Chain A
Amino acid sequence: MRPRLIFGIAGIVVFTSLVMFNFSQSISSYVCFEEAATMDNDRVHVIGTWDSSQPASFSTETMTFTFFMTDENGNTRRVVYPRPKPNNFEQADQLVVIGQMRGDTFVSRDMLVKCPSKYNDAINPELSELQ
């Protein structure tokens, strides 16, 4: 075996294992609030929907937006988001909050707002009224 080949193979093995390890560390899976409470990670992803029956407001005092979200198992928790309400919040058919549970409150670092896509099923008011 030529030394350069050995180096190359060793390099590829080390590189691949490092990348895969790092990759597996940097992804996580979508969980519910109860699971999130048991996780130590501060970038837990929780999927859910906005609970519009409870108050949601932005406080100019703490500069946080607080709302209630119901996860896929039907559990509702208070969520604190450190920015103003995202533009398309009310429209979202799904929210993904990224952060961690603090007691009964989910402190979110980021929030992804998944909207009914424009490329799919935007329904004209005229049409939706007729339906």
Chain B
Amino acid sequence: MIGILGQAALSLAFVSAILSTWFYYRAAQKGGVRSETLANALFFLKGAFTFFASGLLVYLIFTHQFQYYYVYNYTSSDLQNVYLWAAFYSGQEGSLLLWILSSFLVGLAIIRWTTPEYRAPVMVFMGLTQVFLLSMVSGFPIPGWGDLGASPFRTLASEMSDSPVFRANPDFVPSEGSGLNDLLRSPWIIIHPPVIFLGFAMMTVPYAFALASLWKRKYHEWIHPALPWTLGANLCLLTAIFLGGYWAYVTLSFGGYWAWDPVENASLVPWIFGMAGIHAMLIQKKHASSHKASIIFAILAYVTIIYQTFLTRSGILGDSSVHSFVDLGLYNHLLLFILVTGGVGFGLLAYRYRELPEPKKESPILSREFMMFSGAMVLFLSGLVIILGTSSPILGRLFVDNPTPPDQQFYNDWTLPFGVLIGIMTVVTQFLWWKRRDAESLAAVLITPTLIASVITLTAVIWVDMRNVWWMVYLFAAVFAVAGNGQVMIQMLRRNPRRIGGTLTHIGFAVLMIGFLGSGFDRPMVDQRTRDYNRAVAAGQVYDDDGFRVNQPIEFVELEKGKPRLIDGRYMVTYQSGAITERNRPGEQEYEIVFEDVRSGRSFVMRPTVYPMLSNSSPGAVEWTVDPDVRTSWFSDIFMYVAGSALVDREIERMNRENPGHMQTIDQLGPQMADYDPDETRIRVRRGGTVQIGEYSLTFNNFTYVDEAELPDNSIIGVKADLLLVHRESGESVQIHPAFTLVADDGSQYAFNPPVAFNLPGEMAGQEDETEYDQGTGRQSGTYPEANGALQAAGSVRFLEVHPDTDEIELSIRGVEGEPEREWVLLAAEHKPLISVVWLGTFLLMFGFSVSIIYRWADQKKREALEKEGRDPEMIDEDLRVDDVMDDDAVAADDDYDDETVDGGHADSNGDPQEKEQRPHPTELK
């Protein structure tokens, strides 16, 4: 019932979206106020329906109505409320709904804050994207064709109508859902997806404005309202990328924050194109050129969002991504979406191309507009390279059949030189941006950052023994960018701190570049022996048993419980404890690994966890996953997880035993629980093998055959085991020979295997020595030492079974304390330098974006206010200048030294720069 209601709401929302877009189109074409009011009303209605449907879906999830496919597939009744809430957008249909809701909110903001002349045409394109998104979840019935898209309100019965369960009983309702993917049960899922979709929704705005400008032939003004939105979209995407990277790093075992995974690239490329667009818009704002670039980048940023959505949701990337979706039957749908958004965008552009304003003269190379435009082009090219790599399943077919994704090296190799270029260009452009300069004066101001960068780079190269020339260049460019932009920022902080957004983002980007370099110096933290081995592997000196060269280093260390081991030449690590704590999930194991820094003497405990992914697994084969622990410090992180342990092995064995459908072997190991004896230890040991039991090692040397005479009557075969029990600490040992005899009796066979008693070596043996000594003094006479030992410190061994197939025997041992197996963990620890620097760079970028958004928003409001008063909005910069207390030699605040009249067409920017050259800043005269 609720499902039908939800379906109806979504269908109505779909219809309202179409109608509202149509009326916006009418309003934009004919300028009717009534059409626009009607369109607005329909737009609100569409939003209301979508919210209502989402509310219903949330209700279905919270009331565990598992007859619905979506509810069944992504939730279970044991989920905590936060994850039930997150389950709303954990699946594909729900995440599309979230995208629609975000777009609706952004649409409201456009209606509220956009000037009337742009409102209707912009809303046409906003509405168009809404129609497409809604069509993918509407389930709108089209007669003779079927339902449109994949509705989140589909029932399980309709989805699995072939299943015998539903053929037998169409009203069958599962009592439990299949649960949320264990990897998604993390607090990060609350925040990460909404931010992404808000970013996607905001990126629609520059697209819509660019198209509206082409349609309405107002090529210049659109950038003013579009700029804060583009900045906002970029801030959202950046935040989402950061959250995703941080999530992957601290709680998933991806091993890092970035892996060039297609889904990660899906939000990176629009971010890069958005950045290129922002720069193009700024040139257009200041210089009245690059109109085409602004429009192209605004279109591209949005189309790549759809394109990457297509790649990740159409199933094309199934082979190459860790988290791509499976095709929901939306393949053609998504393809059409790209074709329409791209087609409309580039079609309109082509239609108006000749009309677009073009600068009459070329700008000189050392002008801010040329440098900035080149920077935007570099961003654009790096985006293209990343798209090329991500599209390998499609574009790779040009070269090979069945193409694989490119190596990560491909991305790294290309982004490195782009990073270098961008780093250097930010500085040059910043210096040109605030003040006109010729080559000489530019060189003069660049001396300081160049010197700083050279000194720091050289120190770093020597310090870390950097050998790679490219890395040196890269490091130099990054430090140069920090120093150069920092210099500009310091000057600006004194003059006009509201405008530091740009320099701040550049510094953030450069800091990020430095941080990325750290990943080149990741190293596994292993003990000295493994380190030597790895060095030999790297030198190509290690060969395996078959005579082949080994090329893989060992990145793990095995730790025995309570036995410290020195890793990385610096940390004494001890596996202290491991237990099933079930803190966050059923079956979760928590380990305590103590790290003691031998240099400083300080120690800390790391607590990685391991857990079975019960909701992802069938009971027969439970998957396990790890949750790493990270210790963060200023310059490097220690990243570690438990890659395997005796405890996990035991749990797997237990699960196998308890699950009758998946018995591992026929021979039952344990006795019935009823007569389980805690003193008894059962072990299996191979001929020649050794098993550790507590403080002892038990070695099974060989079988010894039994004399006929020793055998009881009717015996078929008899065998003895030659066992050696060693007390490891003292080295003392005892030999034991338990027998196993098969006896036939009246047609039935049974085993004759009496327990054999023995004296425990080690401490007990020491006591025996004392006893003997005492005997010597005559105090303890009349007792045989053997008998004494047997009574007080005896163990016994019973030979339970022979397994000829594996050459193993099974023994039951009493009196020897301790677990039969050693407690061990496989420790994977990695030293990761400069991770904190990556986060610092990201925060600076976010902060810089925020400052810019505030400034640009205020700028736009002021502009609109001036327009209302009938003044020339271009006067705004004059107004701003009044705020700044200007010195003659002010560099930083001298923003608009050559602010061209924009309406007048084309900037006359290439007058002789020296003509306008101002007196050099005192600092430049050094």
Asked, given contacts A119-B91, A122-B178, whether A27 binds B644 with beta carbons under 8 Å apart, the answer is: no
Note all chain A residues with C-beta closer than 8 A to B546: 102-103, 105
Chain A 21-54, CB within 8 Å of chain B: the 1/0 string?
0111011111100000000001101000000000
User: Within the complex, what minimum Cβ distance (angstroms) separates B741 from chain A?
Assistant: 32
Complex partner residue of A30 from B164, B402, B613, B826, CB under 8 angstroms: B402
Within 8 A of B (CB), among A98-116: 102-103, 105, 107, 109, 112, 114-115
Complex CA gap A118/B177 in Å reads: 13
- Tell me which residues across on chain A come within 8 A of B405, comparing CB atoms: 27
A residues in contact with B362, CB < 8 Å? 2, 4
Q: Is the CB of A83 within 8 A of B643?
A: yes
**Smallest CB–CB gap between A51 and chain B, Å?**
15
> In angstroms, how far is the closest chain B Cβ from the Cβ of A57?
11
| Interface residues on chain B, size class | 35 or more
A58 within 8 A of B: yes
Q: Mark B397-412, 1 if CB is under 8 A from A, else 0.
A: 0111111111101100
Q: Cα distance A123–B402 when bound, in Å?
A: 30
Known contacts A23-B389, A119-B91: A42-B551 contact under CB 8 Å: yes
Tell me if A63 and B556 are in contact (CB < 8 A).
yes
Please judge, given known A-B contacts A28-B400, A91-B621, whether A127 and B174 are in contact too, CB under 8 Å.
yes
CB distance from B278 to the nearest CB of A (A): 22
Residues of the A chain whose Cβ atoms lie less than 8 Å from the Cβ of B715: none
Shortest C-beta distance, B919 to chain A (Å), equals 31
- Interface residue count on the A side (C-beta < 8 Å): 51
In whole Å, how far is A131's beta carbon from the nearest beta carbon of chain B?
Answer: 6
Expressed in whole angstroms, the minimum distance between the Cβ of A27 and any Cβ of chain B is 5
Task: Digitize B375-410: 1 where CB-to-A-CB distance is under 8 Å, 0 elsewhere.
Answer: 000000100110011001001101111111111011
The answer, yes or no, to whether B603 is at the interface (CB within 8 Å) is no
Residue of A30, A107, A127 near B548 (CB, 8 A) is A107
Chain A residues within 8 Å of B163, by CB: 127, 131
Closest to B363 in A: A4
Tell me which of A2, A24, A27, A107 has the highest count of chain B C-beta atoms within 10 A of its own C-beta: A27
Which residues does chain A contribute within 8 Å of B626, judged by CB atoms?
A: 87
Residues A124 and B176 in contact, CB atoms below 8 Å apart: yes
Q: Does A74 contact B (CB under 8 A)?
A: no
Please name all residues of chain A whose beta carbon is closer than 8 Å to the beta carbon of B616 when the two chains form the complex: 88, 91, 115, 118, 122
Q: Mark B606-625, 1 if CB is under 8 A from A, else 0.
A: 00000001001111010111
Asked if A87 and B624 make an inter-chain contact with CB atoms under 8 angstroms apart, the answer reads: yes
Contact with A along B315-347 (1 / 0, CB 8 A): 000111000011000000000000000000000
* Chain A contacts for B401, CB-based, 8 A: 29
Q: Complex Cα distance A23/B385, Å?
A: 9
A90 and B621 contacting across the interface, CB-CB below 8 Å: yes
Instruction: Report which of B409, B548, B621 forms a contact with A26, defined as CB distance below 8 A.
Output: B409
| B459 at the A interface (CB under 8 A) | no
- B414 touches A (CB below 8 Å): yes
Chain B's closest residue to A90 (CB) is B621
A87 touches B623 (CB 8 A): yes
Residues of A contacting B402 in the complex (Cβ-Cβ under 8 angstroms): 29-31
CB atoms of B399 and A131 under 8 A apart: no
CB of B381 within 8 A of CB of A84, answer no
- Beta-carbon contact of A22 and B618 below 8 Å: no
CA of A42 to CA of B407, assembled, Å: 12
Are B826 and A84 touching (Cβ within 8 A)? yes
* Residue among B392, B556, B824 making CB contact with A84, cutoff 8 Å: B556
Residue B174 contacts which of A27, A107, A124 (CB distance < 8 angstroms)?
A124
Interchain CB contact under 8 A, B318 and A114: yes
> Which residues of A lie under 8 Å from residue B619 when comparing CB positions?
125
**Closest A residue, CB atoms, query B537:** A82
Residues of B within 8 A of A85 (CB): 644
What is the CB-to-nearest-CB distance from A129 to chain B, in angstroms, rounded to a whole number?
9
- CB < 8 Å neighbour of A103 from B388, B548, B552: B548
CA distance A22 to B410 in the complex (A): 7
- The smallest C-beta distance from B373 to any residue of chain A, in angstroms, reads 11
Among B72, B406, B556, B643, point to the contact of A23 (Cβ < 8 A): B406
Chain A residues whose C-beta falls within 8 Å of the C-beta of B395 in the assembled complex: 23
Give the distance to chain B from A17, nearest Cβ to Cβ, in Å.
13
A32 to B619 CA separation, bound complex (whole angstroms): 32
A21's closest neighbor in chain B, by CB?
B399
Q: Are A26 and B177 in contact (CB under 8 A)?
A: no
Complex Cα distance A64/B405, Å?
Answer: 25
**Which residues on the B side are within 8 Å of A58 (C-beta)?**
644
Q: Are A102 and B406 in contact (CB under 8 A)?
A: no
Contact B326 A117 (CB under 8 A): yes
Asked if B407 contacts A43 (CB within 8 A), the reply is: yes
Question: Contacts A24-B399, A105-B546, A124-B174 given: A84-B414 contact, CB under 8 Å?
Answer: no
Contact residues of B between 408 and 463, Cβ < 8 Å to A:
409-410, 413-414
Asked if B388 and A84 sit within 8 Å, CB to CB, the answer is no
Partner of A27 from the list B72, B396, B551 (CB cut-off 8 Å) is B396
Q: Indicate whether B633 reaches chain A with its CB closer than 8 angstroms.
A: no
Complex interface: chain A residues within 8 A of B392 (CB):
23, 27
Contact at B404–A45, with CB atoms within 8 Å?
yes
Residue in contact with A19 in the complex, picked from B385, B399, B555, CB distance below 8 Å: B385
Evaluate contact between B174 and A126: CB separation under 8 angstroms: yes
In Å, the complex CA distance between A42 and B550 comes to 12
Q: Does B92 contact A (CB under 8 A)?
A: yes
Within 8 Å CB of B787, what residues of A?
Answer: none
- Tell whether B558 is near chain A: CB-to-CB under 8 Å: yes
CA–CA, A43 to B552, complex, Å? Answer: 13
Asked if residues A96 and B319 are in contact (CB atoms below 8 Å), the reply is: yes
Expressed in whole angstroms, the Cα–Cα distance for A63 and B214 within the complex equals 62
B165 within 8 A of A: yes
Q: Is A6 in contact with chain B by the CB < 8 A criterion?
A: no
Please, which residue of chain A has its CB at the minimum distance from the CB of B553? A82
8 Å CB interface, B63-85 against A: 72-73
Is A26 a contact of B164 with CB atoms below 8 Å? no
A130: chain B residues at CB < 8 Å are: 164-165
Least Cβ–Cβ distance between A65 and chain B, in angstroms: 10
Interface membership of B781, Cβ < 8 A: no
| Distance A29 CA – B401 CA, assembled complex (angstroms) | 6
Q: CA–CA, A129 to B396, complex, Å?
A: 42
Assess the B91–A29 pair: CB atoms within 8 A: no
Docked complex Cα distance between A118 and B72 (Å): 12
Residue A125 contacts which of B319, B618, B644 (CB distance < 8 angstroms)? Answer: B618
Q: Does any Cβ of A come within 8 Å of B771's Cβ? A: no
Partner of B554, one of A24, A63, A122, A126: A63
B-side contacts of A88, CB under 8 Å: 613, 616, 623, 625
**When the two chains form their complex, are residues B165 and A131 in contact, meaning their CB atoms are under 8 A apart?**
yes
Given A102-B548, A130-B164, A123 and B178 touching (CB < 8 A)?
yes
CA distance in complex: A18, B181 (Å): 42
Contacts of B528 in A (CB 8 A): none
Please tell me which one of the listed residues A29, A62, A107 contacts residue B400 in the complex, with CB atoms under 8 A apart.
A29
Do the beta carbons of A26 and B174 come within 8 Å of each other? no
Contact B181 A118 (CB under 8 A): yes
Residue numbers in A under 8 Å from B178 (CB-CB): 122-124
Q: In whole angstroms, what is the CA distance A43 to B551 when docked?
A: 12
Q: Could you tell me if B406 and A60 are in contact, using CB atoms closer than 8 angstroms?
A: no
List 23 interface pairs A-B (beta carbons < 8 Å), by A numbering. Answer: A2-B362, A19-B384, A19-B385, A23-B392, A24-B398, A27-B392, A27-B404, A28-B400, A60-B558, A63-B556, A83-B556, A84-B643, A84-B826, A90-B621, A105-B548, A109-B552, A115-B616, A118-B616, A119-B91, A119-B325, A122-B73, A124-B72, A125-B619
Q: CB within 8 Å of B: which residues of A?
A: 2, 4, 15, 19, 22-24, 26-31, 42-43, 45, 58, 60, 62-64, 82-85, 87-88, 90-91, 96, 102-103, 105, 107, 109, 112, 114-115, 117-120, 122-128, 130-131
**Given A60-B824, A64-B552, A87-B626, 20 extra CB contacts under 8 A:** A23-B410, A27-B392, A28-B404, A29-B401, A29-B404, A30-B402, A30-B404, A60-B558, A63-B554, A91-B618, A102-B546, A105-B548, A107-B548, A107-B552, A119-B91, A119-B92, A122-B616, A124-B174, A127-B163, A131-B164
Nearest 5 A/B pairs, CB to CB? A82-B552, A26-B410, A29-B400, A102-B548, A26-B406
